[in-house]
Chain A
Amino acid sequence: SAVISQKPSRDICQRGTSLTIQCQVDSQVTMMFWYRQQPGQSLTLIATANQGSEATYESGFVIDKFPISRPNLTFSTLTVSNMSPEDSSIYLCSARASSGQETQYFGPGTRLLVL
């Protein structure tokens, strides 16, 4: 299994600013993902974080708004840029231990409120 931590756990931000969320996994993992969960909704995949290359974004999400880094096999960051109140959500990091592993684990999430 993989234990995932995220920082910060929550934040309140002003419109127009940016926030970087960190995700740390306790073991090397092949696959890392970022999801968004808007209030009262289910999870929506933002992107797959690729180690050493650009992230793969889902439809509706772009790199300028959600730049992602993944410098190694245990760490990734998601930045929410130029925030607006519509970005208020829980952002969850997720990982799969290896390419043969099917179980996908989740971090505790970062609760973001944009004023």
Chain B
Amino acid sequence: SQQGEEDPQALSIQEGENATMNCSYKTSINNLQWYRQNSGRGLVHLILIRSNEREKHSGRLRVTLDTSKKSSSLLITASRAADTASYFCAGSAAGNTPLVFGKGTRLSVIA
């Protein structure tokens, strides 16, 4: 079963604009991880945010987490054509439980 829902399902922006993708999840999590997948390829780990963290940055990426609303957002600033990909959030409950994925957002950055 899916842990969460990404919103929007598809997003198209111009190069240089910011892209915001949202993720809502259903059950309590220990951490939330964001991944990028280029067409038909493996997943690249972008960032992990723990349940006791509210915001995290990595380069042009900014992730927020609101555990009271069971939601997270991924912001990509100054987007590039190379950012075109599908982005997934995935949550893990406490212990050794595996990640459960949301449905993903397909991002298209137009040059």
> Chain A: residues with CB nearer than 8 A to chain B?
30-31, 33, 35, 41-45, 48, 59, 90, 92, 94, 96, 99, 102-109, 111
Q: How far is the CB of B74 from chain A (nearest CB, A)?
A: 15
Are A31's CB and B42's CB within 8 A? no
Task: Decide: A30 near B96, CB < 8 A? Known: A92-B42, A102-B30, A105-B45.
Answer: yes
Number of residues from B at the complex interface, CB < 8 A: 24
Q: How far is the CB of B8 from chain A (nearest CB, A)?
A: 15
Binds A, one of B54-62, B65-73, B98-106: B98-106
Contacts of B92 in A (CB 8 A): 102, 104
A88 to B53, CA, bound (A): 39
Are A103's CB and B45's CB within 8 A? yes
Contacts of B20 in A (CB 8 A): none
